[in-house]
Amino acid sequence: MPSGLDSITNRKANHLTNRDPSGSTQALYRLSAPIKDYAWGSTTLLADLTGAPRTTTPQAEMWFGTHPTTPTRLDDGRSLADLADLPYLVKLLAAEQPLSIQAHPTIAQAQAGFAAENAAGIPLDDPERTYRDANHKPEMLVALTDFTALAGFRDPKASAETFTTLAQLVDDAALTATLQTMARQLAQGKLKDVFGQLVDTDGPFWQPAGWTQAIFTAVEAADVDDENLRNALAAAHIHPDDPGALVTLLMNLTHLAPGEAIFVPDGTIHAYVSGLGLEIMATSDNVIRGGLTVKHIDIDELDRVVSYSPSRPPLLSPTVKHHENVLVTQFDPPVEDFELNRYDVPADSGMRIAAGAPHVVVCTHGSGQLSSNGEVVDVSPGTGVYLPGDEHDVDLSSAAHGVTMFIASQPGH
């Protein structure tokens, strides 16, 4: 087999190494990932990836990690958290509908918010809770299919043109005047002012059968040929009285081809729209929502967390190279919590992962085997494996059609 790849070799083990209380020296742990059935999920994407039967209930996420709310299990039923305290969480994410308009806090904001809600006696599983841990949640998503996302505020002058169009479509004088004022504010760069008016839960845009619904009724009747408006209209069909659909008009609409990646830093407003991707983030479940959801929204906290600076879509350019006949794609997000490498191993070939720090491996295409110290785990799309990072090298061999796997780890380890 080819020698170890330099992106994952010569690394020292750290505190994340195997802490199995049984004293086991097991080199490979097959993972059983819990599946989240959020309403925005898909009945087909995860099923088609893994070869499982399609479902009637939307399947949104498969979790590979140690977050206390949803720990991944080992084959013997124990929690992966019994072996490690991973600083990152890997997910397979399948979106058929837009996720909520959201942002994630910095570590300082998360620590303060988590402590305040604990002091208030709000249970961790309370649906009205905003902070479920004391960590930040920068995240990166690699598209596995064509993927659409909203991320970051777009140039407010471009949004001003869209709101001018809306003002011309509606026939309510008060609403027309308000949209014209918003368009002027956006042209002046007053993004925060317009955002605040839209998400104000006591304002006219949140009223049932009110201004938001009137706007999208007019948009649909006009059949406007504008990609941003078409996306917003699709969101409004799902959430008809939710001004989050209008907030999307302030955001960058981004399309990812398979293999492309997007990085979402703390404070960046975003909402994934559709597609299948592999996501990695700091180990956290802190999501501060502002719309397009039936879950708890916290407009005041979102206002404190979100950055109102317009920006280009936060796409990430990976490093791509070959080691022997293996295609290696290295994603290097600007965080200390995680890094991610993709390995495309051609048919009937293989590679070696040198002993070192712990890794989480997720297969997304093809089939093969992981083997180490006499242990063997068959891998196919959706298979997750934990490598504890002990003294044993791990060999991956591909089957007749090759194999693709992602390996998550912590930078510098």
**Coil, helix or strand for 72?**
coil
Question: Would residue 62 be called left, alpha or beta, if left means φ above 0 and alpha means ψ between -120 and 50 degrees?
Answer: beta
CA nearest to 241, candidates 217, 277, 270, 276:
217
CB 49 within 8 A of CB 28: no
Domain residue spans of the chain: 152-253, 319-409
CA distances from 26 to 167, 320, 409 (A): 65, 32, 19
Mean pLDDT of the chain: 91
pTM of the model: 0.92
Name the CATH topology of 319-409. Jelly Rolls (2.60.120)
pLDDT at 3: 31
Q: What is the distance, to the nearest Å, from the Cα of residue 45 to the centroid of all Cα atoms in its chain?
A: 15
pLDDT at 223: 85
Average confidence (pLDDT) over 375-388: 96
pLDDT class of 5 with cuts at 50, 70, 90: very low
Query: 335-351 pLDDT, tens per residue?
Result: 999 999 999 999 989 98
Cα(405)–Cα(130) distance, rounded to whole angstroms?
A: 34
Residue 16 has pLDDT above 50, yes or no: no
CB 139 within 8 A of CB 281: yes
